[in-house]
Amino acid sequence: MTDFNLAQQTLLDPTALSVDDLTNILHSMEDHKVDYSDIYFQQSISQSWACEDSIVKSGAFAINQGFGIRAINGSKTGFAYSDDLSLKSLKKAAASAKKIAKLGGHNKVAKKTNKNKTHKLYTNNNPIDSIDEKQKIQILSRADNLARSLNPKVQKVNASIAASHETILLINNNGQLHCDIRPMVRFNVSVMLQDGNRMEHGFAGGGGRYDYLKLLDEKENKIDGFVKDAVRQAEVNLESVDAPAGQMSVVLGPGWPGVLLHEAIGHGLEGDFNRKKTSTFSNSMGQKIGSDICTVVDNGTLNNRRGSLNIDDEGTTTQNTTLIENGILKNYMYDKLNSRLMRAKSTGNGRRESYAHLPLPRMTNTYMLPGLSKPDEIIQSVKNGIYAVNFGGGQVDITSGKFVFSASEAYLIKQGKIDCPIKGATLIGDGAEVLKKISMVADDLKLDTGVGVCGKDGQSVPVGVGQPTIRVDSLTVGGTNL
């Protein structure tokens, strides 16, 4: 069965809605001559299980569905949504949306509906059904037992698995009909080790747009790998000393440290912030904003990745967008609204948390491309500094680009060698300035394991981050060892 047939069967057939009904709804908005209109349907089925202290303590299952209808006139948007998938509810929502955006425009609804073709980056199978409940509980028990067997100092283990299956269908006034069926799985594990009065934690996890069978694949052994990494992190933290403070060279490891790039630079390249002139990168198109060895992309076309999409939430095919090339700003990330207002093309970055939210320009998988250096060469080039491997929380001011990030796993570098682990290190800086201070980029590009969640304007969406090992010549490190 095709994705469209599955989407129609899931979202339209239960209430006897037809594509003609949706086209007629959009036609009803012509009187108010809005610039653009669309109807977005979504059903999301999710399930999760959690294990704490060797006991499976919680399980949840949920089905959410509804639609959102949007009318755009200039920079003004009328929007209404409902969880009632009926023709009556659609007509009522359309009337509300067009009243909000009723002033002017030149909307014309296409008479013929065309189903858009796009790439296929993931299966449409429901991951919740890929294994039974007994097997899901066994995954959690195995993780708990493995963590405790790796180190007798393990005092606490929390593990969880989750899966979702999302179906979307969208029709717009241009006569385009889009659909996508999106799977997602994720596994998380955290451990606490205790040595005397000292307790330290480790965390690991990941997933992507596939089913549980891929997560359990014996060749990749993802579950065991995550558990071992969580225990390893906690062991490292038990041996850590207080972090130094001051200006120093910082080496950022490959993979998840790309979250700093995502937050401190990526958000500043989203179209809405630049249209409103609130980004530190506004009016910088074509200008040099980083070192020559920095090239950054947002790529929504990677197979099975957490941040990937066949189409964005406006029906635009996702793409691999070069944002920064050899230090020069080449592009912003656009949704339909901001691309039209800025006279650009949508880059397939229009994303929303659910049918009850408006789409915004958002990142997909954002990462820095590899360079020519070797990771060991970068470490050896630093006389005294720190090597940050994993990050916890952080804060960023989009307007100024200033950030503060805490390192959850980091080490001292002494005389070109990795030394003892440190705790309590925070990195403080300015995203635009950091790009200019990158002096070495390694050839070891790595993407995160599939844990990224991005928040913006109260909406959360799954994303991916990544980078190779890089050297930043000078960053402010906040620590307790002065």
| Integer CA distances (angstroms), 155 to 150, 188, 200, 454, in order | 12, 17, 10, 31
Euclidean distance between CA atoms 321 and 331, whole angstroms: 7
338 alpha-carbon distance from chain centroid: 20
**Neighbouring residues of 407: CB distance < 8 A, sequence distance ≥ 6:** 243, 386, 388, 389, 390, 391, 392, 422, 425, 426, 427
Domain with CATH 3.30.2290.10 in the chain: 3-238
- How many CA atoms lie less than 13 Å away from 111 in the CB half-sphere? 0
DSSP sequence for 201-242? EEEEEEEESS-HHHHT-TTT-HHHHHHHHHHHHHHHHHT-EE
The Cα-based distances of 360 to 121, 175, 298, 314, 455 in angstroms read 22, 22, 15, 10, 11
Print the SS3 string covering 44-104: EEEEEEEEECCEEEEEEEEEEEEEEEEEEECCEEEEEEECCCCHHHHHHHHHHHHHHCCCC
Helix (H, G, I), strand (E, B) or coil at 382: coil
C-alpha distances in Å from residue 369, one per residue of 294, 318, 326:
7, 19, 10
Token pair listed for 275 = 């249209």
pTM above 0.85, yes or no: yes
The pLDDT profile of the chain, 482 residues, written as one tens digit per residue, is 788 999 999 999 999 999 999 999 998 887 656 789 999 999 999 999 999 989 998 899 999 999 999 999 888 899 999 999 999 999 999 999 888 876 444 555 565 667 766 899 999 999 999 999 999 999 999 999 999 999 999 999 999 999 999 999 999 999 999 999 999 999 999 999 999 999 999 999 999 999 999 988 867 779 999 999 999 999 999 999 999 999 999 999 999 999 999 999 999 999 999 999 999 999 999 999 999 999 999 999 999 999 999 999 999 999 999 999 999 999 999 999 999 999 999 999 999 999 999 999 999 999 999 999 999 999 999 999 999 999 987 788 887 888 999 999 999 999 999 999 999 999 999 988 999 999 999 999 999 999 999 999 999 999 999 999 999 999 999 987 65
Q: Residue 19, SS3?
A: helix
- 8 Å CB contact between 116 and 315: yes
Q: What is the pLDDT of residue 237?
A: 95
What pLDDT shows up at residue 395?
80
Backbone phi and psi for residue 374, each to the nearest 5 degrees, phi listed first: -100, 145
Which candidate, 66, 78, 86, places its Cα nearest to that of 34?
Answer: 78
Q: Helix, strand, coil shares of the chain as percentages rounded to 5?
A: 25, 40, 35
Please name the residues in contact with 138: beta carbons below 8 A apart, sequence gap of 6 or more: none
Q: Domain 3-238 is in which class? A: alpha beta
The predicted structure's pLDDT at residue 104: 45
Closest among 196, 234, 182 to 354, alpha carbons compared: 182
pLDDT of residue 105: 47
Length of the chain in residues, anyone? 482
- Rounded to an integer, what distance in angstroms lies between the CA atom of residue 206 and that of residue 227? 11
Which of these, 107, 90, 395, 445, lies nearest to 263 by C-alpha position? 395
Q: Helix, strand or coil for residue 395? A: strand
**Residue 340, pLDDT score:** 95
Nearest to 454 by CA among 276, 261, 178, 180: 261
Tokens of 456: 């913006």
Residue 375 tokens read as: 């990771």
